[in-house]
Amino acid sequence: MSIDEGAVCALTAGGVSVLVETGGDRLPAVTYWGPELPGLDEDLATALITAAVPMTGSNDVEPRPRLSLVPEHSTGWAGRPGLTGAFANPFAGSFAGEGWSPAFTVTSVTLDGDPVTGFTASCAGVLEAVALDDTERLELRVVLELRDTGLVRTRATIKNLAPRPYAMQGLVVALPVPPEAAELLDFGGRHNQERVPQRSPFTFGVHARENRKGRTGADSAYLLHAGTPGFGFASGDIWAVHTAWSGNHLHYAERAHTGEQLLGGGELLLPGEIILQGGDAYGSPWLYGSWGRGLDAVAHRFHRHLRARDHKVSTDRPVTINVWEAVYFDHDLDRLLDLAERAAAAGVERYVLDDGWFGSRRDDTSGLGDWTVSADVWPDGLHPLVDRVRALGMQFGLWFEPEMVNPDSDLARAHPDWIMSARRSWPVESRAQQVLNLAIPAAYEHVKAQMTAVIREYAIDYVKWDHNRDLTEAGNQQRGGRAAVHAQTLAFYRLLDELRGLFPALEIESCSSGGARVDLGVLERTDRVWVSDNIDPHDRQRTLRWTTQLLPPEFMGSHIASGRSHVTGRSHDLSYRAGTAVFGHLGIEWDLAQATPAELEELSAWITFFKSHRALLLGGDLVRMDGYDDRILVHGVLAPDRSRAIFAVAVTDSILPDPGARVRLRGLDPARRYRVQPVLVGSAPAGLLPPPWWATELVLTGAALEHAGFASPRMFPDQVVLYRADAV
């Protein structure tokens, strides 16, 4: 082709280049996405586009199908189409399949709002193409943005221009990946074991990860990576996508028999959820794409994206105590005040009262949905506790679960039709809960009014926003049981947005029976996620390790657990619990009344250490080391200017290497020299035998630390040692 046949846009930012062409008025197609191509001018772009046109096989359509951002069946593509749906048949009174395979023609292309014709080169920018289908009944807008971070994101919007309704089945967008990306990595998991990595070959056909839980899910794909086989944290070319949506959603990888490969995603729509009347439009969620050499580089683009958002999260985050595992539903004022005194003495800066403060909520079977302070338990309201917490110099936070309701509640008895259901009878229960339909205006206003009243009366600083069950048969009873997960997700987003508008300083945590609502959609509106209900450090080492594939440390709630885990029953030294937790937004989930004086002293020392280094721990660049077996986890954070770093070496298994593996630290300035020293806060880990160099001053270059390293101490299983590296 020649450039004159259409618009071509070359975008380069953050070490990434993206070449997009709309030749012959066709939908935008990405010809290249990967490492920066220096000198990407018109001649090079023309040559790349020409070189990318494949041969036609012996039994293929001719010309070969062209994979646009919204793949079209009309081009001969036999894989998953980007848009699926159909118009109503005016005679049959049903959706009989008319218009199921539209063919789109682009009518305009703009870059940052300016028309694009011929070749345009730019740094970061937003490319938008508008197209009409062959019957001029559908308008499609496709947006692709390359951000300063090198992160790509794309989305599509379909509008019905016809008087007849159009029933949406799906709208997904996809990005191409090259054939050398022959291995896939995504995630599975469950409650208390979120974000468990899994690998598989990128074979022919579709690798689809569908989520129908009405929330992101503890078993969500999280990110879908395709990379050169054997890729690791520092090696291999990797392309990854993430669907930024908190309801039902899809990630997929597809390889055609002709060799094309793509990664895509979007919302997973239930039957009848989106029927576009004349003039109505539907927009897909953003699909984010990150290229990097190694998993750390892929993660860094997402981290920089979140750190650049308008509503910034400070690295000066307050150390938090959450009282859940300390008291559960036993809301005894004297006990809670004693806990506040102990927490403040240890250096805690925020106190969060969890479930059980409202309505008839004395256990998990009653009262959920009645968001008024219980007069039985709190005859003077929450003021005695809130006032004392504030007098001790701490912020005050409160737990809510706004989307859920117990059948045994005033709300459910008064408004049974507000429960989400596909029929008159309610869905099967989970955790003695049903789901409140926030898409019903009266239900939405009821919850908003109750939450607003409590937040305003007590000047709440922080809300822990929970969501403890999947959305099963989530229909709108007031609309004949019609599927309503899409509407529920939008209502949830709107409630977050409106509360943030009313209380701009309010911080909100996304909790969902632990880490089941972690995605970039909810993180446009919240400030922190609860990584998992399981805070046993043995498991948290890996959960934190993989949650950082999307989130930087300051967004991860990371708490010091009780000596004996309430979830697993395992017991651990405080040094392991704290040494694990400091690589996130530090908190405590422990009944401090049960702690010994020595433990309280050591806890205070860990909090002091975190406060002294939280700018680095929460604002540094993530490093995760390859080259060790599954028993040894090495990770750390580097100052952006590479002047210092803090690393951790954790041994998790009962079979120890003897002698211990050599420790290597990646990412420091190769030419600079660094003083390396172990960090021992409080007592040393039990059974630790230090290597000889601990008695000396060790100074090594960044290159020596990466390629040679230093001897590790002998350690018991479930122990961690921290190291500092400071430029000299």
Mean pLDDT to the nearest integer, 407-436: 97
* 538 assigned to some structural domain: no
* DSSP per position, 235-264: SSEEEEEEE--SSSEEEEEEE-TTS-EEEE
Query: Are the beta carbons of 122 and 111 closer than 8 angstroms?
Result: yes
Tell me the pLDDT of the chain averaged across its residues: 95
List of residues 6+ apart from 51 with CB closer than 8 A = none
**Domain end marker among 307, 334, 364:** 307
Q: Is 666 left (phi over 0), alpha (psi -120 to 50) or beta?
A: beta
- pLDDT band, very low/low/confident/very high, at 56 (cuts 50, 70, 90): confident
The pTM for the full model equals 0.97
Catalytic residue positions, numbered:
466, 533
Token pair, residue 616, equals: 């680095």
Taking only the tens place, the pLDDT of each residue in 223-234 is 999 999 999 999
Q: What is the CATH number of the domain that holds 220?
A: 2.70.98.60
Q: What is the DSSP letter of 220?
A: -
Cα(685)–Cα(636) distance, integer angstroms: 19
Taking only the tens place, the pLDDT of each residue in 337-389 is 999 999 999 999 999 999 999 999 999 999 999 999 999 999 999 999 999 99
Strands (E), 541-672: 556-561, 585-589, 621-624, 632-638, 644-651
Burial of residue 441, with CB atoms counted within 10 A of its CB: 0-12 exposed, 13-18 middle, 19 or more buried = exposed
The helix (run of H) or strand (run of E) holding residue 42 is helix 42-51
Token pair, residue 280, equals: 């109505």
Beta pairing class for 434-435 and 404-405? antiparallel
pLDDT at residue 89, as a whole number: 76
* 140 assigned to some structural domain: yes
Query: Are the beta carbons of 401 and 467 closer than 8 angstroms?
Result: yes
Residue 579 dihedral angles phi and psi, to the nearest 5°: -65, -25
**Domain end marker among 254, 279, 307:** 307
List of residues 6+ apart from 509 with CB closer than 8 A = 462, 463, 464, 465, 526, 527, 528, 529, 530, 557
* 577 assigned to some structural domain: no
Q: Where is average pLDDT lowest: 193-202, 301-310, 381-390, 651-660?
A: 651-660
Q: What is the CATH number of the domain that holds 628?
A: 2.60.40.1180
Q: What is the DSSP letter of 226?
A: E
* 270 assigned to some structural domain: yes
Domain that holds residue 723: 623-727
Cα(278)–Cα(593) distance, integer angstroms: 64
Angle, CA 389 vertex, CA 384 and CA 392 arms, to 5°: 125
Q: Where is average pLDDT lowest: 262-271, 529-538, 681-690?
A: 681-690
* 549 assigned to some structural domain: no
**Alpha carbons within 13 A on the beta-carbon side of 243:** 33
* 667 assigned to some structural domain: yes
Query: From the centroid of its chain, how far is CA 467?
Result: 16
Token pair, residue 38, equals: 């220096």
| 3-state SS assignment for residue 301 | helix
State yes or no: cis peptide before 659, omega within 30 of 0.
yes
Beta pairing class for 621-624 and 632-638? antiparallel
* 33 assigned to some structural domain: yes
- pLDDT band, very low/low/confident/very high, at 1 (cuts 50, 70, 90): very low
The alpha carbon dihedral of 690, 693, 699, 701 has a sign of: negative
* 333 assigned to some structural domain: no
**Domain end marker among 251, 284, 307:** 307
Number of domains in the chain: 2
Using the predicted structure, report yes or no on whether residue 656 has a pLDDT greater than 80: no
